[in-house]
Amino acid sequence: MTKKILVLHTGGTISMQADDSGSVKPSTDNPMNHVGFELDDVELTVIDFFNIPSPHITPYHMMALYHKIRETTGQYDGVVITHGTDTLEETAYFLDTMAIPDIPIVLTGAMRSSNELGSDGIYNYLSALRVAIHPKAADKGVLVVMNDEIHAAKYVTKTHTTNVATFNTPTHGPLGIVMKHDILFFKTAEPRVRFDLNQISGTVPIIKAYAGMGLGEGIISLLDPDKIDGVVIEALGAGNLPPEAAQELVRLMAKGVPVVLVSRCFNGIAEPVYAYDGGGVKLAESGVMFVKELNSQKARLKLLIALNAGLKGQDLKEYIEG
């Protein structure tokens, strides 16, 4: 039976080329459109949906991708999205939080442009297509396929500026691997709450904690509660802050601004453990919401999506901390 796959190109390094000086630039002619694959019983519908560098991607672009996937429900057996790597994990997480159809949705990209030595774009593209047509990929949520590995959108993150093995899943590890002749899954992704939103808006900045934060510098106190909808704080260790910074957050929450906390550590999960001033226990008691297993950029999207879905009070807390 022929499988129909929708391919949505959005730009990024996978669609770019290096010039004579080595500078990588966007190309109006996506080289992935000229690649021929020998895949049996596969019919591709290819759309150049965007052609922008991934730092230009916003939640509005993510929403447009979601709506495109939703409007084609029932027409395709899977979706592959090529994307720049800088924000790929955020788009993947956003889509994984939306009410997507129960088909494989796979994002991929490249760390080297199409005409660079050792270009990885064509191989990653082929690997993503192979995963998208695999019968065991449909119930895994949105997937990221790079460098022979299959990662869950919720956990994967970019860990190196230029290495082709940049995408990793700290703590958990990948869901599966791409083999020469087969696809092997050895984990499943947890089910999650999904939302069907028509639009998204709001301002949720991310702030990174550091030694001495709040001592006359007042970064948190510079935030205008009338101009932001929430804050994500990358806290120290298991979820702690300098006491002065903690006081600034308490004052911000008193003005109705929700505060979400993750750890700035690469591995592990933030949780309220320490009961000293600025410690996680007191932060939780003051109303700071601890996010499990997400980095700050995904926690920002989680809060933004929740606020746009109208969650407030205890419902917001349960979703953020769930």
Using 50, 70 and 90 to split pLDDT, how confident is the model at 21? confident
Q: Does residue 259 contact residue 290 with C-beta atoms inside 8 Å?
A: no
pLDDT greater than 90 at residue 50: yes
What is the pLDDT, as a whole number, of residue 234? Answer: 98
Q: Write down the catalytic residue from 13, 82, 108, 157.
A: 13
Whether 3-185 shares its CATH topology with 206-321 is answered yes
Active site residue 13: yes
Alpha carbon distance 238, 15 (integer Å): 40
Average pLDDT, the chain: 94
Q: For 12-19, what is the mean pLDDT?
A: 90
Alpha carbon distance 101, 72 (integer Å): 9
Alpha carbon distance 15, 145 (integer Å): 16
Q: Does residue 172 contact residue 152 with C-beta atoms inside 8 Å?
A: yes
Alpha carbon distance 141, 189 (integer Å): 7
Alpha carbon distance 169, 147 (integer Å): 13
What is the pLDDT, as a whole number, of residue 285? Answer: 98
User: Which amino acid, residue 270?
Assistant: A
Q: Which CATH superfamily is domain 3-185 in?
A: L-asparaginase, N-terminal domain (3.40.50.1170)
Condensed to tens digits (0 to 9), the pLDDT of residues 276-320 reads 999 999 999 999 999 999 999 999 999 999 999 999 999 999 999
Q: Does residue 106 contact residue 35 with C-beta atoms inside 8 Å?
A: no
Q: Please state the domain extents for the chain.
A: 3-185, 206-321
Condensed to tens digits (0 to 9), the pLDDT of residues 137-183 reads 998 999 999 999 999 999 999 999 999 999 999 989 999 999 999 99
Using 50, 70 and 90 to split pLDDT, how confident is the model at 189? confident
Strand partners, 232: 206, 260
Alpha carbon distance 303, 49 (integer Å): 27
What is the pLDDT, as a whole number, of residue 299? Answer: 98
Among 18-27, 41-50, 92-101, 234-243, the minimum mean pLDDT is found in 18-27
At residue 40, the 3 state secondary structure works out as coil
Condensed to tens digits (0 to 9), the pLDDT of residues 200-234 reads 999 999 999 999 998 776 788 889 999 999 999 99
Which helix (H) or strand (E) covers residue 261, if one does? strand 259-263
What is the pLDDT, as a whole number, of residue 117? Answer: 87
CATH topology of domain 206-321: Rossmann fold (3.40.50)
Using 50, 70 and 90 to split pLDDT, how confident is the model at 274? very high
Give this prediction's pTM: 0.95
Q: For 15-28, what is the mean pLDDT?
A: 85
Tokens read off for 102: 């129960």
Tokens read off for 277: 């001033």
Alpha carbon distance 104, 134 (integer Å): 8
What is the pLDDT, as a whole number, of residue 306? Answer: 98
